[in-house]
Every structure is written in C-alpha cells, then in structure tokens.
Amino acid sequence: MVKEKHFFRSEEDTDFMPIIPINEHESEQDKNLVIPGILPILPLRNTVLFPGVVLPITVGRDKSIKAVNDAYKVDKLIGVLAQTDANIEEPEPKDLCRIGTVAKIVKLIKMPDGGTTIIIQGKRRFELQEMLSEDPYFKASINLFDDDILPVTEDFHAYISTIKDLAGQIIQLSPNLPTEASIILKNIENPSFLINFVSSNLNSELLEKQNLLEIHDIHERAERLIFVLQRELQFAELKDKVTNKTRTEIDKQQRDYFLQQQLKSIKDELGGDSNEREIADMKKKAESKKWPEAARNAFKTGIAKLERMHPTTPDYSVVYNHLDLMLDLPWLDITADNYDLKNAKKVLDMDHYGMGKIKTRILEYLAVLKLKGDMKSPILCFLGPPGIGKTSLGRSIAHAIGRKYVRVSLGGLHDESEIRGHRKTYIGAMPGRIVQNIRKCKSSNPVMILDEIDKIGSDFRGDPSSALLEVLDPEQNHTFYDNYLELEYDLSKVLFIATANNLQNIQPALRDRLEIIDLSGYAIEEKVEIAKRHLLPKQKEAHGLGKVNFKINDKVLEKIIENHTRESGVRELDRQLASIMRYQAKELATKNKLKSNVTMPDVEKILGQSRYSNEIYKTANMPGVAVGLAWTYVGGDILFIETILADGKGELKLTGNLGNVMKESATTALSYLQANARKFGIDPADFAKKNIHIHVPEGAVPKDGPSAGVTMLTSLTSAFTARKVKPFLAMTGEITLRGQVLPVGGIKEKILAAKRAGLKEIVLCSLNEKDVNEIDRSFIKGVQFHYVKTMQQVVDLALV
C-alpha cells in the first residue's frame, strides 16, 4: 500500500513542530561555539533535525532522559541522530543514521507525568565516527562538517526564490497551516537557514529528509529540495481539487434537498403534489379497467416503480407514458356487432354500386358470426386498379357491421418499428401503428384497413412486410408483441382488410396469409350509376349547389365517360364532374339562374374537345396492324401491334420497350408462321428475302407478358399475306409452337377496356369463356366473343 504523503506537517500529524528562531543570524554568533569531539547521542524516532531549526521534543526513553539531563548540566550540547526504523523501541548503534546534527538544549521542562520535554536548536552537521558506549546512554566520537559556503551565482539566487515560491504555494493549499507562515517564510534572508527550515517542515518520508541532510553541497541540496517541493505541490493541487469538488457536490445536494423541502411545503399548502394526484388518478382508472391478468400485474409493477421515482428523473416520463398507454388501450373492450344481415346488405348497397363478390363474402362472415357467436376474423385483401373504391369499401363494411373504423397507410413504409414499435428506452420511442390505432379507436375489434400493402418498402432499418406476418396470421396475432408495450396484445378480433393494386409486389409469405378478392374495373354502365348515385350529389354539395335543381342525363354522363376519361376507376370522372360543377357555380353566381339540363354542347364548352376518341379503330387499317388487349395495374388497356416488311436478309427487329417474355412471343409467332407458311398462302422464300420489323406504339411505356402472342401472329400473317385485319376486332391469348391458343388473365379488365374503346368483336381462348360468363351481361352488351383453340381459327376470323 502506498504511504500517503502530505505537504507541511500539521499539529495533528506529529509531536514535532519546527519553530523559527528569534534570530536567524544566531548561527553566525555560534561560530565561536566550542563543540567537543565526544558527545552524548539522542536518537530521534520520527524526524530529522537540521542546523538552525528549533524543535520541541518529548523525551520518553530512560536512556534518552539521562543523556539529556547530563548534557544540560554540562554544556547543553547533544548529538541528534535519526533512527532508520521508527518502529524500534530500543535502538542499537546499527539502527541509527551515520550523519546527524549537533543540537543545543535551549530549554528543559519536567512534566507532571514524569516525562521530559526539551526545546533543541540544531547547530552543525556531523558524522558519527565511533560509538564509544551504549550504557547508561549512547556516547560517540564525532566528526564535524564545515559550515555551508554560500555560492554567489545567479542560479543559486533563482533556486532560493523558487524554494520560497513553491513553499508559499504549498502553504496556501494546506488548510491546516496558518497563512502567516508564508509571510514569515518570505522574510527569511539566510539561504542556508531557508533550505534547512523548509527541509525540516517537509511532510516527506524520514528517509527523504535524511538524504537532504546528508548532501554536503548547498547548491546540490537546494536543487534536490526544489524537486521534492514540486512533487508535493502537484499532490497538494490534486488534493485541493478533489476536496473542492466533493465540497461542491455536497453543497449542491444540500441545496437541492432544501429546495425540494420548500417545494413540498408549498405544494402541501396548495392541496397536494400534482404528481401524486396523477398517480392516484391512474390507480383509480386501473381499478375499473377490464384487462388480462398479465397487463394488470405489469401495471402494478410499473405504478410501484413510478411512486419510488422523483418526477425530475429522466426515467419518470418514460414509465409514466408507458403506464398511460396501458390504461388507454381497450384490451378486452369490444363493440357489439350488428348481426342484421338485411341491414348490412342495405348499407353496403347504398354506399357502393356493384362489387357483389365482396358484399357476399362480408355477409357470409356476419352469418357465421351470428350463428357461432365468435370466430377468428378473416384477413381480406381487396385487389384491383386505383380509384374503384377499395379503401372506402372498408369504411362501409365497418358501418354495416357496427364496428369502429381505422386506416393504416402502409405506402412507402420502410421502418419495421412502425409496425412493432420502438423499445421504450430510446428517446422519442412510440408504440407501432397497429397499437396506436387500436388506442385511438378505443375498441379491440375494429375494421382496420391496411392501405397500399403492395407498396411497402424495405431497407437497412428492417422489412415491415415481414413484421406484418405476425399481425396478419390468425394463428399468431392473438399474442402480438409490441416492443414499446412489452406485453402481448390480442389482435384476433380485428377485421383486417388490406388493399393492393399489384399482387406481384407482395412477398409470397405475406400473400399466403391474405384472402385475395379481385375487384375489376367498372363498366360504362356501372360508372353512370356511380356518378348518379354518389359522385354528382357529392360534387353538388361540395360546390354549394346542393339545393339547386339541374340534371345531367345518362347519355351525357356516358359521353363524358367515353370522351373525357379512360380509366378503370372513377377518380378522373369525379374530377371532370367537379369541373362542370365549378362552371355551374360561376354561372349561378353571375346570372342567378341555371339551365335545367346539362347538354352535350355544354359539356364540350366546359371540358373542351374530346380527349379520347374511338375513330382510330374505324379508319381503314393497312395490312400488318392488329389490336391487342393488355392488363396493367390500373386496369385494362388497348395496344396496337404493327408489322412492316422490307427487302433484306430475313432479320427480325422488335421495338416499343418490350420485355423478354413479349420478345419471345414475337419469336414464337414468327417460327410458327415460317413452319406453316404454305397453309396461310405465304411463299417460304419470302422469309429469307424480307426484314421484319414489329413495333408496339407508346414506346415510353414498358410492356411485357405472353398475352400478345395471338396479336403478333395475326399482325405477321397480315403483313406477309397483305390481308387487312377486320376493323373493331381485338384479341388476347398466348400461343405455342404447335399453334395452340392458351388462356390468359385479367379478362374482365381487358374486355371493359375494349368496350370503352368502342371495339365490337373480341377473340379469346376457349378456356377463358368461364371468365366472360362471370361478367354482368348488360356490361358487355354489343360485344361479340369468338372462342378459339388454334391459331388457324384466329387467322380465319381476323383477316379479311
């Protein structure tokens, strides 16, 4: 263990307190002092005596008392040597240092307890030559050292000044030494005495002091003393820093305690602590709360922790907010379902036109719930193009069955914590969106719309779609774990309804958990009904025309849909009707009257010329141009396939931003046509002489898929045979090298797109007939369908 070193010795630390002599120049007067060669020896246990320094010594050993008394009676001179080991009670000659100081006994005082106290002053340094006797006390022959010769160099004067400065700083940093000591120190003029006095007052180990005493050269002794003083000054500064820091901390704690006591007294006068009232309110709420046992126990633990915490601690708000969330969550609170199937059907029909498949599924769910009383909610996914009412249908379902409605927008979500929540130890942590919305709607069985589930992203922050796997699995979601809540929450009673435009963007594991319900685009007849029942009343009300009586008949609505919109949903139609309402509002505001009917000329005046036209399909097409049907995530669409032949070496060129599958369809069509050229009246040699260029217009739009196979083969055959394709004819289907036509998907969207475009005939694979039969016959009135199995049948039907 390192022995702690302090600076100047205080009264509490030792029995020895060096005294400055009344006359520091006494040493000059002692030059004539006669010192005998044999002196009695006084061992000192705890200190070293330096020349010129006065020390009070309490003498306790019998030998030492006898030596002091004999010396005091003769010439009052005695030799003082330090013990090498202070723990030895009865030292022997070998236990004494070889160099010491001749001392003069200035005063001898007999104490009442039989002890003796003497005041001695160091005179000259000596070296022990030989110990002559040990009994009754030590007596030895000595060799005196010459007095210190003082150098007159500037270096030595600098050393003396440095010693004074360092010693003064140590005195200032030592609380047990009087500040007057530094004043006395500065007034010492004798350099030799200054060095001896400072050395004597060092709080160093005895060996350090003895080493200073044994240095003969005063210049070297001063240099060594400066080194020791610098070391002790550093220690004094460190000790002072620690003491001040501790004192400051204690003062701050006392101040805080005092202020807290005052604050508590003030709050008591005002009627109690607000924090205590908040905790009491929480406990009161918890008593009437219906929640699982695990949640109750967690709340009790949290509230007990909150009571022990001071409101100013950082964790107080974290624990408080967590408990507040637990109290706000509905847990076992649910709304009663309305099992009136007729009323539910009426509400659904009133809010949305069509959509029979979804309405039937919801009514089936309600019927089972009515009979069984409880069942796991299905996880539905409404799949269809934008603008057809998927999200608003969710609100209607909630209204129909009497449940709360919440919507969670998932489009562009990247962070997994948005679903599962953040751990509450983070700053700004919150529960996930699922728990937040449950908290907001105050019911554990709402209808929750997960909007745009196909547009969830994923990056370095996690994959939210993987976090949804637990939410949307009926076997797991009764124990959904939110990181912030840190408890399991039952989501099994929530009716989740996801909406999506493109099924391919949903990861397979998540797609497997969803009950997919396809929603196709609307036919023109459906759009007319939707406009009359929903869009027109809404826009009239929004533009202040709710009480004004004017009409837009079905024919005008149909023309608006055909000439100014080309979409699967009704959003663009809604915008066009809003434009008409704004015009009507302006007319009413300026002329104070309106026409009773909006006519086609009025529509052209308001909306301008037709944006879309079917005339393109009526023009006499050149050979090599065929009309195909395509499916996009916004609904069905029409595309042209154009083929042109030029003299060359039989090369095939494909343009129009085509995907790999579509390019392969073109290659397959050409190979089949080459293999069966004579059947179609084509000279096989033409394929080697002509370069073939197939182009699909709207090159900025990427296109892919196998459904254009029959259209490409028809276009190629038309180009090689110079026979035109029948007007108002569209087709869709995949082909094989054997000439068979295979079925494709998206039939309803494609047929509705053909109907919107004014096409009259559609060629389909015979296996797609079942898809056509699912469409309301009134929507496809006026369209003739041709079902084929081979490409020969397609060519026979298509070419004039």
Look at residue 1 and tell me whether its pLDDT is greater than 50.
no
Q: How confident is the model at residue 375 (pLDDT cuts 50, 70, 90)?
A: low
- Cβ atoms 628, 731 nearer than 8 A: yes
Phi, then psi, of 537 in degrees rounded to 5 = -60, -40
Look at residue 785 and tell me whether its pLDDT is greater than 90.
yes
**Of 21-35, 359-373, 640-654, the least confident:** 21-35
Query: Whole-angstrom Cα distance, residue 367 to residue 341?
Result: 7
Look at residue 787 and tell me whether its pLDDT is greater than 90.
yes
Look at residue 10 and tell me whether its pLDDT is greater than 50.
no
- Which tens digit of pLDDT belongs to each residue from 532-558? 988 999 999 999 888 888 889 988 998
DSSP 689-706: HEEEEEE-S-TTS-B--S
Comparison of pLDDT for 83 and 241, the residue scoring more: 83
Query: Whole-angstrom Cα distance, residue 609 to residue 615?
Result: 14
- Say what the pLDDT of residue 87 is: 84
- Which tens digit of pLDDT belongs to each residue from 25-81? 555 556 677 888 889 999 988 888 999 888 888 888 888 888 888 888 888 899 999
Q: Is 670 helix (H, G, I), strand (E, B) or coil?
A: helix
Length of the chain: 800
Would you state the structure tokens that stand for residue 77, as one six-digit string? 């001179």
Buried/exposed code over 355-385 (b: 16+ C-beta within 10 A; e: otherwise): beebbeebbebbeeeeeeeeeebbbbbbbbb
Comparison of pLDDT for 666 and 240, the residue scoring more: 666
- Cβ atoms 404, 443 nearer than 8 A: yes
- Say what the pLDDT of residue 2 is: 35
- Cβ atoms 21, 106 nearer than 8 A: no
- Say what the pLDDT of residue 11 is: 31
Distance, C-alpha 62 to centroid of its chain = 81
Q: Furthest-apart CA pair in the chain: how many Å?
A: 157
Looking at residues 376-384, what average pLDDT do you find?
Answer: 83
Mean pLDDT taken over the chain: 84
DSSP 29-72: HGGG----SEEEEEEESS----TT-EEEEEE-SHHHHHHHHHHH
Look at residue 3 and tell me whether its pLDDT is greater than 70.
no
Look at residue 572 and tell me whether its pLDDT is greater than 60.
yes
Q: How confident is the model at residue 633 (pLDDT cuts 50, 70, 90)?
A: low
- Say what the pLDDT of residue 576 is: 92
Helix, strand, coil percent content, the chain, rounded in steps of 5: 45, 20, 35
Looking at residues 355-373, what average pLDDT do you find?
Answer: 81
Owner of token pair 């009052």? 76
Looking at residues 359-380, what average pLDDT do you find?
Answer: 79
Comparison of pLDDT for 49 and 312, the residue scoring more: 49
Query: Whole-angstrom Cα distance, residue 303 to residue 501?
Result: 47
Query: Whole-angstrom Cα distance, residue 665 to residue 198?
Result: 107
Q: How confident is the model at residue 740 (pLDDT cuts 50, 70, 90)?
A: very high
Q: How confident is the model at residue 270 (pLDDT cuts 50, 70, 90)?
A: low
Residues designated as active site: 707, 750
Q: Is 114 left (phi over 0), alpha (psi -120 to 50) or beta?
A: left
Count of CB atoms situated within 10 Å of the CB of 531: 24
Q: How confident is the model at residue 720 (pLDDT cuts 50, 70, 90)?
A: very high
- Which tens digit of pLDDT belongs to each residue from 141-159? 999 888 777 787 778 888 8
- Say what the pLDDT of residue 350 is: 86
Looking at residues 366-377, what average pLDDT do you find?
Answer: 76
Count of CB atoms situated within 10 Å of the CB of 206: 18
DSSP 578-645: HHHHHHHHHHHHHHS---SB--HHHHHHHH-S-SS-SGGGTS-PPTTEEEEEEEETTEEEEEEEEEEE
- Say what the pLDDT of residue 622 is: 81
Comparison of pLDDT for 498 and 150, the residue scoring more: 498
Owner of token pair 């907001």? 440
This prediction has a pTM of: 0.60
Look at residue 210 and tell me whether its pLDDT is greater than 70.
yes
- Say what the pLDDT of residue 5 is: 35
User: Cα(first)–Cα(last) distance of the chain, in Å?
Assistant: 112
**Of 81-90, 118-127, 243-252, 525-534, the least confident:** 243-252
Comparison of pLDDT for 665 and 116, the residue scoring more: 665
Looking at residues 305-314, what average pLDDT do you find?
Answer: 82
- Which tens digit of pLDDT belongs to each residue from 289-305? 888 899 899 999 988 88
- Say what the pLDDT of residue 231 is: 86
DSSP 302-329: HHHHHHHS-TTSHHHHHHHHHHHHHHHS
Look at residue 379 and tell me whether its pLDDT is greater than 60.
yes
Query: Whole-angstrom Cα distance, residue 22 to residue 557?
Result: 124
Give percent above pLDDT 90 in the chain. 20
Distance, C-alpha 568 to centroid of its chain = 41
- Which tens digit of pLDDT belongs to each residue from 320-353? 888 999 999 998 888 888 878 888 888 888 888 8
- Say what the pLDDT of residue 619 is: 55
Query: Strand order in 380-383's β-sheet?
Result: 405-409, 447-451, 495-500, 380-383, 515-518
Look at residue 7 and tell me whether its pLDDT is greater than 60.
no
Q: How confident is the model at residue 279 (pLDDT cuts 50, 70, 90)?
A: confident
Look at residue 166 and tell me whether its pLDDT is greater than 90.
no
Residues 6+ apart with CB under 8 A from 299: 286, 291, 323, 326, 327
Comparison of pLDDT for 509 and 634, the residue scoring more: 509
- Cβ atoms 719, 621 nearer than 8 A: no
Give percent above pLDDT 70 in the chain. 92
Looking at residues 687-694, what average pLDDT do you find?
Answer: 91
Looking at residues 712-727, what average pLDDT do you find?
Answer: 91
- Say what the pLDDT of residue 15 is: 37
Would you state the structure tokens that stand for residue 392, as one six-digit string? 């608003």
